[in-house]
Amino acid sequence: MKKIAIIGGTGLQSLPGFSPESEDYFNTPYGTPSAPLLQGTFAGKPVVFLARHGKAHSIPPHKINYRANIWALHSVGVREVLAVAAVGGIHRHMLAKHLVIPHQLIDYTWGREHTFFEENHVQHIDFTEPYTERLRQKLIHAASTLSFETHEQGVYGATQGPRLETAAEIERMAWDGCDIVGMTGMPEAALAREMGLEYACCAVVANAAAGRGDGIISMTEIEENLVNGMENVRQLLAAALQIL
């Protein structure tokens, strides 16, 4: 079994049931990761856990040091990453508390440090399929053993944040083919690919995206949905780890 990391997003600063055995504070050539890397066990399996927004959920999406996070995970030997993300639902079937295992993404972010390849020579990566299909299939299989709604594919639109989108922006994203919208999917997925890490995402729908629900988006609603949604994520991750 390859060493696996779980990157926890909004609503998952810590992973219930995870027993940390060590806490590593890191410095990388790109600065410090969002939080110490916690190495321990979850559902009986060895796991490294990293809180993407920091221990106290204090780092907004555009300020996250994605390069330091991915570098640090790679340097402790992680080769597979399961990334958890809160998202808004654009597709009319992707409702609050549902899980989505995206198969594609569109990047609308800007101004983020988004590559390790910026010096000395030109280097490109293939990114046709941004998520590792083998890991995606494991998540889908794990979800099939559980009773909550999980969508086996979806296009993740990554926006800059920290504000939510306008209704017109969401309408444009829907025309582009996006099914869900979040703020942290990029450059994380591309950096993982540059580092040679396998990477898949488990997205939790926290709210109907702007203009897709009734009226404005309430932060209380997001928080409430994430409490239930993250319990589903926890079960999904535990089941997936048994078959990875």
Q: Which stretch binds ligand HPA (CB under 6 A): 76-84, 93-101, 121-129, 201-209?
A: 201-209
- Quick note: the x/- pattern for ligand HPA over 207-226, rule CB under 6 A, is x-x-----------------
Instruction: Map residues 163-182 to x or -, x wherever contact with ligand HPA holds by CB under 6 A.
Output: -xx---------------xx
Q: Does 188 bind ligand HPA (CB under 6 A)?
A: no
- CB within 8 A of 33, min separation 6: which ones? 26, 50, 65, 68, 69, 71, 72
Q: Which is nearer to ligand HPA, 36 or 88 (CB)?
A: 88
Instruction: State which of residues 8, 36, 88, 154 lies at the interface with ligand HPA (CB under 6 A).
Output: 88
CB of 39 to ligand HPA, least distance (A): 28
Which of 206, 230, 238, 241: binder of ligand HPA (CB under 6 A)?
206
Closest CA to 157 of 70, 84, 90, 230: 90
x/- mask, ligand HPA, residues 32-71, rule CB under 6 A, reads ----------------------------------------
Is 72 or 206 the residue whose CB approaches ligand HPA more closely? 206
Give 79: exposed, middle or buried? Use CB within 10 Å, 0-12, 13-18, 19+: middle
Contacting residue, 35, 84, 87, 233, with ligand HPA by CB under 6 A: 87
Which of 160, 239, 175, 165 has the alpha carbon at shortest distance from 202?
239
The residue among 33 and 88 lying less far from ligand HPA, judged by its C-beta, is 88
Residues that bind ligand HPA (CB under 6 A): 86-88, 159, 164-165, 181-183, 206-207, 209
